Chain A
């Protein structure tokens, strides 16, 4: 059989390549769609996943992905923003970009860092649990041809590590001690609603109405998550100062396990 003219053959080959490319693309896209339908997603267990360092609380989370399809998830990444009730940015998180081959099970970690020392409003989260507005973003590139972006707005349940902190100064015992000072009882109570245990020292100072510090005391705190802490201590101070505590303030700091924060001041009635 005679060979066809070269230009004619070339045109036919190019036309054929177009058809082959079309069929291959259709098959690939179909396979990708089927594979995408076989992806399973679950959330990573967050229990015990919180740590505190300095004034920053880091909460662990993320998702678990099972790629049951025939094609790889080219990349999957998560990010999140958490805001204060006023709308101010409180913290953020972003995961690494993870590739998941076919048949693999992989978790995509997301660690949300919340700085509770950044502002007075953030500081109030130490003693008040709250539902914080969050926005979570996920970006998935599948099989190199399609990108899915998901945004979810939700509320994050923040558990305060010193929920309902009360440092209550009792009546001052006017009978002077041998060193000339007077004493008062101070009751410290709170509930640890955070996702981490507390073992450290709570140091509080009593300041009179003039602002001068009358007495400082350190109290050992051991409060596993979810437990109540309630302790009464006796504190000494100069009588002139202690007798003018009314209208003053109690300032407290906590340090333990790397977590070091200044708690919101409380007024003394």
Chain B
């Protein structure tokens, strides 16, 4: 008895043709190192808006209410500031709003431009504050004292300067490699 050289061709069973077998899940396509494949899981606009509003509260507190309140308190002790509490409050609210806007547009290509705008506004605001950064007080009708803290403001300008650079890089990344940043920040 010998082994058949080859098995006879299989005959499909009679009957209706079978449905095609389900294909296995597609394997991730290898891309450039570090790339994430798949659809980013962006939070919905509503969710981002809610979080942005929640972020707005502490940031307004930090950028607007506390500085303006401190200026008001010092004015109560006879200290004169070079800048008005209302200006500080308005500037602080503007910065907080831009910061919240940055969060809302983060999963979009608008993130880079908004970051650049927010940082530029912050830089301009601090630059405007520098020459006015002093507090003066008169005492005992025969003297006065003033404190200038412009250098502190100048140092603080480093923070939006880094933000500006970071926003510019994000802007370039979104143009040169669309979707790369969003995929990294909101992985599937």
User: Residues on A close to B: CB < 8 A?
Assistant: 2-5, 7-8, 10-12, 14-15, 17-19, 21-22, 25, 29, 144-154
Please pick, from B148, B167, B173, the residue contacting A149 in the complex, using a CB distance under 8 A. B148
Main secondary structure of the interface of B (DSSP, over half): helix
Provide the residues of chain B in CB contact with A150, threshold 8 Å: 143-145
Contact A18 B148 (CB under 8 A): no
The 10 A-B pairs at the shortest CB distance, nearest first, are namely A18-B162, A14-B166, A152-B143, A7-B173, A11-B169, A15-B166, A147-B148, A150-B145, A145-B151, A21-B158
Please pick, from B34, B142, B162, the residue contacting A15 in the complex, using a CB distance under 8 A. B162
Contact A5 B146 (CB under 8 A): no
A29 to B155, CA, bound (A): 10
The interface-forming segment of B40-48, B86-94, B175-183 is: B175-183
A-B CB contact pairs (8 Å), 15 listed: A2-B34, A5-B173, A5-B181, A7-B169, A7-B176, A7-B177, A14-B169, A25-B152, A25-B158, A29-B152, A144-B151, A146-B148, A146-B149, A149-B148, A151-B143
Contact A17 B177 (CB under 8 A): no
Provide the residues of chain A in CB contact with B155, threshold 8 Å: 21, 25, 145
Q: Is B54 an interface residue (CB 8 A)?
A: no
| Closest beta carbon of chain A to B134's beta carbon, Å | 9
Please pick, from B144, B147, B173, B180, the residue contacting A147 in the complex, using a CB distance under 8 A. B147
Contact A8 B148 (CB under 8 A): no
Q: Is B57 an interface residue (CB 8 A)?
A: no
A7 to B184, CA, bound (A): 11
Provide the residues of chain A in CB contact with B158, threshold 8 Å: 18, 21, 25
Total of A-B residue pairs, C-beta within 8 Å: 94
Contact A148 B173 (CB under 8 A): no
Contact A18 B177 (CB under 8 A): no
A148 to B33, CA, bound (A): 55
| Closest beta carbon of chain A to B141's beta carbon, Å | 9
Provide the residues of chain A in CB contact with B177, threshold 8 Å: 5, 7
Provide the residues of chain A in CB contact with B181, threshold 8 Å: 5, 7-8, 11
| Closest beta carbon of chain A to B110's beta carbon, Å | 15
A141 to B106, CA, bound (A): 42
Q: Is B107 an interface residue (CB 8 A)?
A: no
Closest to B138 in A: A151
A147 to B154, CA, bound (A): 14
